[in-house]
Amino acid sequence: MAGMISPMEIDGADQPPKPNKGKSAVIVSSDGKATPWVEKYRPQSLADVAAHRDIVDTIDRLTNENRLPHLLLYGPPGTGKTSTILAVARKLYGAQFHNMILELNASDDRGINVVRQQIQDFASTQSFSFGGKSSVKLVLLDEADAMTKDAQFALRRVIERYTKNTRFALICNHVNKVIPALQSRCTRFRFAPLDASHVRERLKHVIEAEGLDVAESGLAALVRLSNGDMRKALNIFQSTHMASQHITEEAVYLCTGNPMPKDIEQICYWLLNESFSTSFKRIFEINTRKGLALVDIVREVTMFIFRIKMPSDVRVHLINDLADIEYRLSFGCNDKLQLGSLVASFTRARSSMVAAA
Ligand SMILES: Nc1ncnc2c1ncn2[C@@H]1O[C@H](COP(=O)(O)OP(=O)(O)O)[C@@H](O)[C@H]1O
Ligand SMILES: [Mg+2]
């Protein structure tokens, strides 16, 4: 996952490259072209973190006052949780980064033995004070919801014992997978999905820095498809950029394989107006020609149904049917049959609309 970064990569270009102790590092070619944009444009300081102003300001203040509590940051992916903690660490330790932080994420073994040994060893050794700055160490447990329950229980005691010179920062997507005992030992912050304006602003920053040619419609498509996940936005953006020079709406959709809004409109038109067999044939044809996934179509059509006018009891049934189709598709049921089911649901909805009229 892109959220993982080893300490080697962190402190920027001014440092000579250090030998890599077996952890994977992002390979940077001389012109920097190979760097994934998610790493290249990772916020370096707290001020760079877009959105979540209140959270970031609070953490910033606590850091300044040397009163950093144990932290639990949670929320959907790509909202800046890891970046925020790394920025805090950079602010606290500067060049001493490597000595003062122990970072473990889901790809490291974090069973109960690691909690008992590695984390305790790190937490229990005294740290030197650098330049009068705080000497608390930081243990960063990324993707903490993937830790076993046993390890979490063991961690509970460790957190308490070493509070004097160590702070723990837990990061996770699903806060309910972290045991309550750990939650109550930390200050919780929820990172909501970024709103469209922040994603747009951040993308504009990248456009400027890279000197790219991006159509307004392309930018809007990136923002729409990202759904508030900045990592997703940057990844789609970079792969579209690699595929085509001009980043237009069409290029973005082509790159992700998502159905274009105008295709969805066309499909909905067929579903609402054509006979069963014509609808089925046309949708099947456009699906094969454009290589669309039926599950994407079902999701988008559902959004479309929310927007158009129809009697509410018809809408209720229709949406329920679509939800069933989506559920079945997620188990890998036959696409052609499910497409039949989609057209059938609309046929039924139309007859009940006629009956109601
Ligand atoms: N709030 C944000 N402001 C600016 N960039 C962000 C923000 N959130 C995410 N990003 C971008 O997305 C990438 C992934 O962010 P990360 O902090 O690892 O997300 P998380 O840990 O919440 O999944 C970062 O490298 C950065 O480029
Ligand atoms: Mg992360």
What pLDDT score was predicted for residue 130? 54
Q: Does residue 27 carry a pLDDT above 70? A: no
Judge if the beta carbon of residue 7 lies within 6 A of ligand 1.
no
User: How many angstroms separate the most distant Cα atoms in the chain?
Assistant: 80
Q: For position 129, what pLDDT does the model report?
A: 56
Q: Whose CA is nearest to atom 12 of ligand 1?
A: 231
Assess whether the C-beta atom of 219 lies below 6 angstroms from ligand 1.
no
Closest CA to 247 of 209, 227, 221, 210: 221
Tokens representing 230 are 């900045």
Instruction: Encode burial over 284-294: b for 16+ CB neighbours within 10 A, e otherwise.
Output: bebbeeeebeb
- Mean pLDDT to the nearest integer, 112-124: 85
Ligand 1 test: best mutation among 9, 26, 44, 79, most atoms within 8 Å of CB?
79
User: Of 2-16, 85-99, 236-250, which gets the smallest average pLDDT?
Assistant: 2-16
pLDDT band, residue 222 (cuts 50/70/90): very high
Q: Ligand 1 center to residue 230 CA distance, Å?
A: 6
Q: How far does residue 308's CA lie from ligand 2's centre (Å)?
A: 38
Model pLDDT, residue 33: 64
Residue 136 CB contacts under 8 Å (≥ 6 apart), including other chains: 68, 92, 127, 165, 166, 167
Nearest CA to ligand 1 atom 27: 42
pTM here is: 0.81
CA distance 113 to 128: 26
pLDDT digit string, tens, across residues 252-308: 999 998 999 999 999 999 999 999 999 999 999 999 998 899 999 999 999 999 999
Cα radius of gyration rounded to whole Å, the chain:
25
127 in Cβ contact with 165 (< 8 Å): yes
- What is the per-residue pLDDT for 312? 92
* pLDDT tens string 311-341: 999 999 999 999 999 999 999 999 999 999 9
Mean pLDDT of 21-44: 67
Cβ–ligand 1 distance for 78 under 6 Å, the answer yes
Pocket test for ligand 1, best of 39, 42, 73 (most atoms within 8 A of CB): 42
Whether 218 is in the pocket of ligand 1, judged by its Cβ within 6 Å, is no
3-state DSSP of 180-224: HHHHCCCEEEECCCCCHHHHHHHHHHHHHHHCCCECHHHHHHHHH
Strand partners, 166: 137
* pLDDT of 343 above 60: yes
Name the least confident of 61-65, 98-102, 212-216, 291-295: 98-102
Main-chain phi, psi angles of 27, to 5 degrees = -85, 120
pLDDT value at 127 more than 70:
no
pLDDT of residue 131: 53
- In this model, does residue 246 exceed pLDDT 70? yes
Q: Which one of the ligands is nearest to 53 CA? A: 1
Mean pLDDT on 184-192: 96
pLDDT band at residue 251, thresholds of 50, 70 and 90? very high
Q: Is the pLDDT of residue 30 over 80?
A: no
Residues 219-238: what's their mean pLDDT? 96
Is the shortest distance between the CB of 200 and ligand 1 below 6 Å?
no
Given the CA of residue 52, which atom of ligand 1 is nearest to it? 1
pLDDT of residue 109: 78
Q: pLDDT band at residue 32, thresholds of 50, 70 and 90?
A: low
Q: What is the average pLDDT across 140-148? A: 91
pLDDT surpasses 70 at 29: no
Domains annotated on the chain, with CATH = 7-190 (3.40.50.300), 196-256 (1.10.8.60), 261-356 (1.20.272.10)
Evaluate: CB of 55 within 6 angstroms of ligand 1: no
Q: Is the CB of 230 under 6 A from ligand 1?
A: yes
The CB of 49 under 6 Å from ligand 1? The reply is yes
- Looking at every residue in the chain, the average pLDDT score rounds to 87
CB distance 43 to ligand 1 below 6 Å = yes
Q: What is the pLDDT of residues 146-179, one digit of tens each?
A: 899 999 998 998 998 999 889 999 999 999 999 9
Of all atoms in ligand 1, which is nearest to the CA of residue 86? 17
